[in-house]
Amino acid sequence: MLKLVSTLLIVALGVWAASPDQYVKEGIALRDAGDLNEAIVKFQEAIKVKQKHAAAHYELGKTYIMVKQCDKAIQLLSDALNYGYDKLKTHLALAQAYRGCNLRLEAVMEYQLALQISPKDPAVHTLLGDAYAERGNETLAMEEYEAALAIDPQYIPALVGLGAVYQSERQYEEALTYYTKARTLNPKYEPVYLSLGSLYAIQKDYEKGIAEVMTYTTLKPQDPAGYLALADIRIKMQDYDGAMNDMLAARTRGDTTLSSLQVMRFLYTQKDRTTDEKDIIKEILVKTPSDVSLWLDLAKTYAKIDSFPGTVYAYQQAISLDSATLKNVVFELALAYYQVAKYDSSEQLFSIKLQYDSLAAGAYLNRALARMQLKKYKDAATDLEKGLRLRPDHLQGHLWLAQLYAFMGMNQKAKTEYNAVLKLDPKNKDAKEGLANLSKPAPQEQDYWDYYDDEEEYNQ
């Protein structure tokens, strides 16, 4: 009886469970509707039911291309090929995935395999031509475009590809001829408008270029490529406000590529939007976390907006990636530590700077400030004296030393330094007030050491 119930249960589950083919069908429908994440789930369910389901691997691989996860796509499409899926489709999809990963040689090889299967297909010739063009082999690219047009003289993608080759070779009239022919054959073929926009921009006919790309955005309003092309033209026109609006439009349509982030950073730099530049550098670092130079740029950007905890953090990241960086940024990091009230660290780093460069007047002068905060007044005075021997015209240094001498009760030395300030700046109010205060009677002249409880403090 128990065996019969188990058998019936298995049969019932089999009736209600979707087949892998059904999952694939549902996944394709979801993908066509734009729901890529749910489509991925359906294809994965198909593979769970049947591990070597070739169509499920193929469709899942195609979907991963669309969500820009080309490494996963390559693996799945390779599996689909091994499981016997349509070779032409799979080689073409693999080529697309390799192009997404910037593996251009591998993409060429996949297109060549596809061409062996379908040598009379103008689309395959054109795709191979595109792959050659991406690798900078324009002679082979032209051969493939011409082969496609020999099969179908009106094959529009080949016309546009051939125009692009002529454009890269600065044969602009020939390029315009092919682009115009393509547009005449099919005014709704969107890519030709991007090509025309690029051509006009190269020739500095920016208004025509913008008009062509605007047509593209009308035909494909949700494609960020059109807005990126507009931004590129406006940058050439130095219309940075307009370019920024276009880049933002591209971002709202899903563009988060590294190149676009770099363009946004350039635009923020041009408009002196330092806080926005800082934020965009952080976005870039998510994609390139080991870029030492970018961490250094971030540190400097934090410093510009007086956000010194961020400055310290960014410099620390750069140094953790490359310890040799410390030598080049030790002074700036010491200043940042001072700003966040880490005076011990600031003093230590200024000392390291002086090990590298014993004539660095700024390091002496700034280490003096850190030492004053640490109540190492004698050492601070010595640093200021050394710094001023190297930079006798440093007004602020003379003022700091005058104030320090006055604080320590060394009035005659303080007077000398205040007069040095007035020699550099006869109207300096701080120096005048300091001299006036020195002339007031003091209860008792203070000895140099009276402010310290323990002489050992100076040696810490």
Sequential DSSP letters for 108-153: HHHHHHHHHH-TT-HHHHHHHHHHHHHTT-HHHHHHHHHHHHHH-T
Length of the chain: 460
196: tokens are 């025309």
Query: What's the predicted TM-score (pTM) here?
Result: 0.78
pLDDT, residue 429, reads: 96
Per-residue pLDDT of the chain (460 residues; tens, 9 = 90+): 444 444 444 444 444 457 999 999 999 999 999 999 999 999 999 999 999 999 999 999 999 999 989 999 999 999 999 999 999 999 999 999 999 999 999 999 999 999 999 999 999 999 999 999 999 999 999 999 999 999 999 999 999 999 999 999 999 999 999 999 999 999 999 999 999 999 999 999 999 999 999 999 999 999 999 999 999 999 999 999 999 999 999 999 999 899 999 999 999 999 999 999 999 999 999 999 999 999 999 999 999 999 999 999 999 999 999 999 999 999 999 999 999 999 999 999 999 999 999 999 999 999 999 999 999 999 999 999 999 999 999 999 999 999 999 999 999 999 999 999 999 999 999 999 999 999 876 544 343 323 322 322 222 2
What does the alpha-carbon distance between residue 18 and residue 37 come to, in Å, rounded to a whole number? 19
46: tokens are 């198909």
What does the alpha-carbon distance between residue 327 and residue 142 come to, in Å, rounded to a whole number? 51
Comparing C-alpha atoms, which of 442, 435, 391 is closest to residue 417? 435
pLDDT, residue 442, reads: 53
Q: How far is CA 152 from the centre of its chain?
A: 42
What does the alpha-carbon distance between residue 72 and residue 55 come to, in Å, rounded to a whole number? 16
Q: What share of the chain is helix, strand, coil (3-state, %, to 5)?
A: 75, 0, 25
Inter-residue contact 384 to 368 (CB < 8 Å): yes
Residue 3: how many other CB atoms lie within 10 Å: 7
Residue with tokens 């406000």: 241
362: tokens are 């700024």
Inter-residue contact 445 to 363 (CB < 8 Å): no
What does the alpha-carbon distance between residue 95 and residue 84 come to, in Å, rounded to a whole number? 17
Classify residue 24 by burial, with Cβ atoms within 10 Å: 0-12, 13-18, 19+.
Answer: buried
pLDDT, residue 440, reads: 76
- Which element (helix H / strand E) includes 302? helix 292-304
What does the alpha-carbon distance between residue 33 and residue 48 come to, in Å, rounded to a whole number? 23
pLDDT, residue 441, reads: 63
Residue with tokens 């031509």: 129
What does the alpha-carbon distance between residue 401 and residue 380 come to, in Å, rounded to a whole number? 9
What does the alpha-carbon distance between residue 146 and residue 168 come to, in Å, rounded to a whole number? 16
Instruction: List all residues 6 or more positions away from 154 whose beta carbon is below 8 Å from its beta carbon.
Output: 185
49: tokens are 């039911």
Domains, the chain, in order of start with CATH, read 15-118 (1.25.40.10)
Comparing C-alpha atoms, which of 117, 108, 52 is closest to residue 86? 117
pLDDT, residue 17, reads: 59
What φ, ψ does residue 454 adopt, rounded to 5°? Answer: -150, 120
Comparing C-alpha atoms, which of 212, 256, 249 is closest to residue 233? 212
